[in-house]
Structures are given as structure tokens and as C-alpha cells.
Amino acid sequence: MAVLGSVGLRLWGPAPALRQSLRAFSTTHGAAAAVSAEQLAEKLRAQKREEQKQEEPKNPVLRRVRELSQLSKQLQRVHPNVLAKALKRGILYQDEELVVIDKPYGLPVHGGPGIQNCITDVLPILAKMLDGMKAEPLHLCHRLDKETTGVMVLAWDKDTAHRIQCLFKTRQVEKKYWTISVGLPVPSEGLVDIPIVEKQVQSHQSHYKMTLAPNYRVSPENGKMVKVRQNRDAHSAVTRYRVLASSPSCSLLELQPITGVKHQLRVHLAYGLGCPILGDHKYAHWSKLAPQKLPENALMRLGLEQAKVRHLPLHLHAHQLTLPMGTSGDKQLHLVCRPPRFFTNALKRLKLEIPESLEK
């Protein structure tokens, strides 16, 4: 029964023919609305697929670089629990004292302006995932730059972390990095012993960079080496290197930093040997901030245009760490981590083969 208006007119329902018409109209109208909504949803999905198709780079290298960039952004946006699970999947070694992880590309170790996620923030969560809810947070033993991948050591307690940190500071840890350089160092094996200092670059984009502060210079009069006054702000920096493989435009190098100065490997390669790391846009030029300039042969092999080089990631990987262990340091713990996929893909395209003796 329905009540219409305020006059109290009562209807005991429409006539049968009217009821049937109303049902037919309601069914037809509902079906039309459902079809319309379904068509609209499908149209929106089709538009999204088309946009993704247009945005997806055709070049496989650019596709992989984009995936890598998206992964780095995702690691910054995901919930800390998700990030901790990702680090757990990348564990290389674990015992009652240490946990060794494979650090992903683009993930900073410490927090800072604009950084949502970092390794230090998720160490308490990772510890609980590995050793139960009562586990104490893991501790950092050393650090790697945001763009560097590979072996990273964590400790279960502060005492162990302090002991490992002392090993790093006293240069008892043997560190070996793999990198792809632009160009071939001459000689193919050697040692770079040039101090490094941080300086402000005076340009239209004023910024700071690490650079060389050599103790010697070549005399313009007779061409002999002349000792110069040491920069009091400079830090001693020593790097061993050797060529593992080479092609006409790029090389695969093994680097062994004896000291641990900020950006040491990048500066020694770019300014000391004249062979910057592939994807190192910060040290590609001294006086400006601009994408790295690659030789034509490298561009061809990588399948890139120079305008797209800015998307290339830094190809620097912490491949191996050797820690002295035991009370007297008579035992050694060798920690090895294979390069990430973007690194190995670049090796294949550049025709750089890892020596069989180093394949793990």
C-alpha cells in the first residue's frame, strides 16, 4: 500500500497490466544500465592498455632500464614489511653472528630528505622475520651507495657490528667490486694512489663533487714530476684495478679499494684513469651536471640513442668481501654475490665475458 500526497489517498496497488509493464520497464532499464556500465569499464580498460602500450619502450634495453627505475621507486613506496621480505629473499649468508644481504639497486642505506624507505629503517622488521618477534634489530657493519649493488654485511648485536666495523677501518677486509667502464685503462692492471678532496664546482649549476688532489704534477718546463703542497682537506685514496674483459668501447674491471673514501672508485676511474663507470652521470663531466657521453660503438651495442643515455643506471657491483674470522683471524669468510640482471645484460650486449675462473 502506498500513500500519496497529504490527502490520504490510498492505492492498493496497480492493476495487473500496469504491474507487468512496470516490471518490463524496470528489467529493460536495469539491463541497459548494466550493459552501459560494462561497456564503459571495458572502454576505460582498453584506453589504459593502449596508453601502457604507447608508453612501453620498444627498445629492450630501455624497457629493462624502465623496469629498474620502477622497481627502485616501488622499493621507496612499499610498506616496510614488503621491503624487509625483499631483503630476506636476497640473503646470501646467515649464521649466529652475521646476516649478509644482496643490496638492491636504488635503495639507500640511510634516510634523508625525500627518502621514504631505507635499509636501516627495516632492520628491526627483518630481524623479527628471521628470529622471531623478540629479536633485537640487526646492525649495519658498513655502507654502500644508493646506486651500488651487492654484498652488504649486517650483525645480530652491537659488539659484533663494532668488531666488523673495526676490520673495515683497519683495512683487514678485502673488497672486490665489478664495474663496466667506458674505455680501456692503460695499463690493464695497476694501482691508483691519488688523494681525493671534495670541491665546489663553479658553474651555472653550483654543486659539490669529489675530485683528485694529486701530490705531484708535471713540470711544464722539463716534463718532470714535481711534488706539490698537500691539500689539508684531502683524504688518502688507493685503488687496485685489473681488466677482466674488454671490447672496442668498454671494459669489465675488477676494483679493489684499499681505502674507503666517498666515491673513491668513481673518481679514480673517471679522473684518474679517464675511464668513467658506465651510467655514472655525476662524474661524466667536471664542470656541469649532464648525462654521460658514450662512444658510437657503445651506443650501437647497447641499442641506445645518446638522448636516452641518461636512463642508464650506475654499473658498480660489490662482488666479493673476505672477512677474517675466528679469535686469531686465522679463518676467512668469503662472501660472493652475482651481479644484477641489468649488469649481466649490459655485459652480453657489449660482448664482455666474465672469465670462467671467476664464474660462481
Catalytically active residues, by annotation: 145
Helices 60-77, 341-349: inter-axial angle, 10-degree rounding: 170
Q: For residues 100 and 87, what is the distance between their CA atoms, to the nearest angstrom? A: 10
Angle at Cα 238 formed by Cα 232 and Cα 244, nearest 5°? 155
Q: With the CA atoms of 121, 122, 124 and 130 taken in that order, what torsion angle do they form, in degrees rounded to the nearest 10?
A: -160
Mark 204-240 as b/e (b = at least 16 C-beta within 10 Å).
eeeeebbbbbbeeeeeeeeeeeeeeeeeeebbebbbe
Phi, psi torsion values for 99, nearest 5 degrees: -130, 125
Displacement of CA 95 from its chain's centroid (Å): 26
C-alpha grid cell, residue 288: 656541469
- Sequence-ordered strand ranges (E) for the chain: 2-4, 9-11, 91-94, 98-103, 139-140, 149-155, 174-182, 189-193, 196-201, 207-212, 216-218, 225-227, 238-246, 250-257, 316-325, 331-336
Phi-psi region of 26 (alpha: psi -120 to 50; beta: other; left: phi over 0): alpha
